């Protein structure tokens, strides 16, 4: 049986990496924001002694623990692929990327894993003060982890601070320039905000579900929905600004990617149009049936009303990214971002009218938008990574030069194995998460569900936590 399915080894290796990264990415995108949400809930409980906040903390910490564990497991697999499918890239870029990944483990992962057990099971054992510190450390650790990973990824887009050794390796020369490469600050802000919005809309979607089920009397349900809508209203507009700034940075350092995002095959001499929709035809080098607004693209790109623009027709075809994928994934991301802003404004209107917990059309919209953050971060990631093609290290190392010399059938076999195992294991995990979310936060909420299955992180297996079954905060 031909396991390559007619594809070459490099394309199969790219599909395999994209599949595993996409599966992995949704868990950190959720847990980064959820860790901060838990820290806020715990802080509000300690400050107000309102049992509703404690109930919500206990409800969401179970979901956090399972999501965090699946994120760790799904991320480990990616290092396997660096050694098997992308060994040439690992050899050449290892002197730069290896230390950065090690810093992520030393400074972030150990911090998260070390305090995770205290956050999950330690309130009774260490007291509220140290338990709050643990919650903060887990939240900070997730953000630091994202910082290192995004530094690595950004360096691959805007490489800096290196020299090329005699054997072709990228050798570090200036670590400050490597870590704080030109696209890193913009990508970090944009991605962290996306993670917080992802969590906000999942929490808001869960709250909306329970409100639609007639559970508006539950203070936990009301509180989670209200907090999520505040986050959407205040942060979604900021994400539009952050995304615009990253776009301008990309235009400066990776202009070909922006041309693909905007669908500009043809150079513009007198004003840059804004192409809203169309069907990119890379073979014909045009966007068919396009709907565009003349001149608007210039001010958006901060080039002026009558500015000119060199299009993809000035770029060699073998150096152009797959335009259709980048064009449409970019529109999915932007479209969802605008819908998030709309839901946030709608919630403000409903709150002002006093029917935030009674506006069923708002609840339906929030429920529908529940997974929108996950879809948006995946669409944004596709835009970023596919737009970098045909390079792994932009302008320096081609993807075709980065792969291991493997037979297509070998890569195809491991890809099929990944697909089967991932859908079986993580599919079951996601179903269990949905089952937890389908239940409302109740009085006397405990962590007992966590004890039903093993959660092992960085060599630490939480103890059974028998005492948690005797909560210091009895049912109301």
The SS3 call for residue 283 is coil
Do 364 and 208 meet the contact criterion of CB atoms below 8 Å apart? yes
Residue ranges with strand state E in 56-102: none
Q: What is the pLDDT of residue 75?
A: 79
Angle at alpha carbon of residue 294, lines to 292 and 296, rounded to 5°: 95
Residue 456: per-residue pLDDT: 42
pLDDT at position 444, please? Answer: 61
Question: Cα angle vertex 85, ends 94, 83, to 5°?
Answer: 45
Quick check: helix, strand or coil at residue 216?
Answer: coil
Given this model, what pLDDT does residue 218 score?
Answer: 86
Per-residue pLDDT tens for 117-168? Answer: 888 888 888 888 999 999 999 999 989 989 999 999 999 999 999 999 988 8
Taking the chain (476 residues) in consecutive chunks of 10 residues, what is each chunk's mean pLDDT? 69 88 86 93 92 92 90 80 87 92 84 86 87 93 91 94 91 94 94 94 95 88 94 94 93 93 89 90 90 87 84 91 94 95 96 93 96 94 93 92 86 87 86 91 64 43 38 36
pLDDT of res. 467 = 37
Convert the pLDDT of each residue in 170-187 to its tens digit: 999 999 999 999 999 999
Q: Return the SS3 of 307.
A: coil
364, with CB counted inside 10 A (0-12, 13-18, 19+), is: middle
Pairing between strand 162-164 and 170-172?
Answer: antiparallel
- Report the C-alpha gap between 332 and 329 in whole angstroms: 5
Alpha-carbon span 135 to 133, nearest angstrom = 5
Q: What is the dihedral of CA 281, 372, 374, 59, to 10 degrees?
A: -170
Q: What are phi and psi of 217, to 5 degrees?
A: -75, -15
Report CA torsion sign: 95, 97, 100, 105. negative
Q: Which of 5, 30, 109, 73 is nearest to 409 (CA)?
A: 5
- The backbone region for 267, taken as left when phi is positive above 0, alpha when psi lies in -120 to 50, beta otherwise, is beta
Measured distance CA(34)–CA(140) in Å, rounded = 12
CA angle (182 as vertex; 260, 253 as ends), nearest 5: 30
- Distance, in Å, from the CA atom of 36 to the CA atom of 28, rounded to the nearest integer, reads 12
Task: Count the Cβ atoms, other than its own, within 10 Å of residue 48.
Answer: 11
């Amino acid at each position: 049986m031909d396991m390559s399915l007619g594809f070459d080894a490099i394309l199969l290796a790219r599909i395999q990496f994209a599949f595993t990264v996409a599966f992995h990415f949704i868990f950190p995108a959720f847990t980064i924001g959820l860790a901060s949400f838990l820290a806020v809930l715990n802080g509000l409980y300690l400050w107000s002694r309102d049992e509703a906040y404690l109930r919500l903390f206990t409800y969401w910490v179970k979901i956090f623990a399972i999501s965090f564990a699946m994120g760790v497991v799904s991320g480990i697999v990616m290092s396997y692929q660096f050694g098997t499918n992308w060994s040439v890239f690992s050899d050449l870029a290892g002197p730069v990327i290896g230390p950065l990944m090690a810093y992520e483990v030393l400074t972030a992962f150990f911090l998260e894993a070390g305090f995770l057990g205290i956050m999950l099971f330690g309130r009774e054992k260490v007291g509220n003060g140290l338990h709050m510190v643990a919650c903060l450390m887990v939240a900070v650790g997730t953000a630091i982890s994202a910082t290192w990973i995004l530094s690595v990824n950004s360096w691959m887009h805007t490489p800096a601070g290196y020299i090329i050794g005699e054997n072709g390796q990228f050798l570090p020369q200036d670590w400050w320039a490597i870590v704080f490469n030109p696209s890193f600050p913009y990508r970090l802000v944009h991605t962290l905000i996306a993670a917080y919005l992802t969590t906000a809309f999942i929490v808001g979607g869960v709250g909306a579900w329970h409100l639609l089920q007639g559970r508006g009397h539950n203070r936990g349900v009301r509180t989670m929905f209200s907090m999520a809508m505040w986050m959407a209203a205040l942060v979604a507009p900021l994400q539009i600004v952050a995304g615009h700034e990253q776009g301008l940075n990309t235009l400066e350092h990776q202009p070909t990617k922006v041309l693909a995002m905007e669908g500009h095959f043809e150079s513009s001499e007198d004003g840059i149009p804004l192409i809203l929709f169309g069907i990119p035809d890379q073979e014909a080098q045009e966007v068919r049936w396009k709907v565009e607004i003349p001149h608007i693209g210039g001010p958006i790109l901060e080039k002026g009303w009558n500015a000119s623009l060199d299009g993809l027709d000035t770029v060699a075809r073998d150096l152009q990214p797959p335009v259709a994928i980048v064009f449409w994934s970019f529109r999915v991301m932007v479209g969802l971002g605008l819908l998030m802003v709309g839901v946030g404004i709608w919630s403000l209107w409903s709150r002002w009218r006093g029917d935030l917990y009674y506006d069923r059309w708002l609840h339906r919209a929030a429920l529908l938008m529940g997974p929108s953050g996950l879809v948006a971060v995946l669409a944004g990631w596709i835009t970023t990574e596919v737009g970098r093609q045909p390079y792994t290290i932009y302008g320096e190392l081609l993807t075709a030069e980065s792969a291991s010399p493997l037979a297509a059938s070998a890569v195809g076999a491991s890809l099929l194995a990944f697909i089967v195992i991932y859908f079986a294991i993580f599919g079951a995990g996601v179903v269990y998460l949905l089952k937890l979310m389908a239940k409302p936060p109740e009085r006397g909420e405990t962590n007992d569900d966590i004890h039903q299955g093993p959660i092992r992180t960085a060599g630490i297996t939480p103890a059974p936590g028998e005492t948690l079954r005797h909560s210091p905060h009895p049912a109301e």
